[in-house]
Amino acid sequence: MPELPEVETTRLGLLPRLRGRALKRIVVRNPQLRWPVPDDLETRLAGLTLDTLDRRGKYLLFDFGVAAQIVHLGMSGSLRLVDPDEPAALHDHVDWLFDDGSVLRLRDPRRFGAVLWTDDVARHPLLAHLGPEPLTPAFDATYLHAQCQRRNAAIKQVIMDAQVVVGVGNIYASESLFHAGIRPATAARRLSRPASARLAAAIKKVLAAAIAAGGSSLRDYVGSGGEPGYFQLQTRVYDREGLPCTVCATPIRRIVQGQRASFYCPACQR
């Protein structure tokens, strides 16, 4: 599933190409995504100029001034700039045609993504209750420690909760906990202030490294130009069950939490 680094990589790739461009048309081939594409999407947005392209958690926000388009890539979606003459494939559900000839195409094989619009981003139900962005000053040791003190759940589940902090997906949660020296099953309320500081710093470090690497391409994800991400080549614990820890050579272990695989080093993480 595209997580924060993959979505941010997409945003960074699209922004210089599309900012300041007027949207001419929207072609919807299949409106049946996770939520139906609104019938009035083109009516609301066609003719408007894209002021900027923002991101909130895993949601891309196309800011057209009087309205914003919300795009979520779901489980396996991607947004790519394609040649205007490139035929649409089976899972290419939506095209955006801009005044300079640019064509932005949504490919979503599982149709778990979303294409919506809103005139009030802050109050939209999908966005209103999200936690802080992890790469901003709002997410720090003080905030994380306070959130953990109120929760008995395992720390990995807590940092993957979008109401606590957005964008820390399964890969990045396992990697962050390794860098912080904390086992994924540790009860959140047991984290000390120093441990919270290590974890907040680790989350920032891991996500920044993933963005620099173009995200992770474990299944279908590609960037806005069709290129894969390479962060999975840098992982220390994720998907390395039985392999030696890169720090101490202890075999990496795998457990299941909330139907998701977690990986950790039993020696480095306490």
In the annotation, is 156 catalytic? no
Distance, in Å, from the CA atom of 248 to the CA atom of 221, rounded to the nearest integer, reads 32
Q: If you ran DSSP here, which 8-state letter would residue 270 be given? A: -
The one catalytic residue among 34, 110, 151, 260: 260
How many CA atoms does the CB half-sphere of 3 hold within 13 Å?
Answer: 28
Strand pairing category for 59-63 and 52-56: antiparallel
Is 70 in a helix, a strand, or coil? Answer: strand
Residue of 80, 85, 83 lying closest to 94 (CA atoms)? 80
In the annotation, is 183 catalytic? no
In the annotation, is 3 catalytic? yes
What tokens does 73 get? 């890539």
Q: If you ran DSSP here, which 8-state letter would residue 247 be given? A: T
The one catalytic residue among 11, 56, 58, 236: 58
In the annotation, is 44 catalytic? no
Angle at 137 between CA 132 and CA 143, to 5 degrees: 60
The answer to whether the beta carbons of residues 229 and 214 sit under 8 Å apart is yes
Angle at 85 between CA 108 and CA 24, to 5 degrees: 75
Give just the sign of the alpha carbon dihedral 184, 190, 194, 197: positive
φ/ψ of residue 151, rounded to 5:
-130, 135
- 103: number of Cβ within 10 Å: 18
The one catalytic residue among 2, 5, 134, 184: 2
Residue of 55, 49, 59 lying closest to 23 (CA atoms)? 49
Known catalytic residues?
2-3, 58, 260
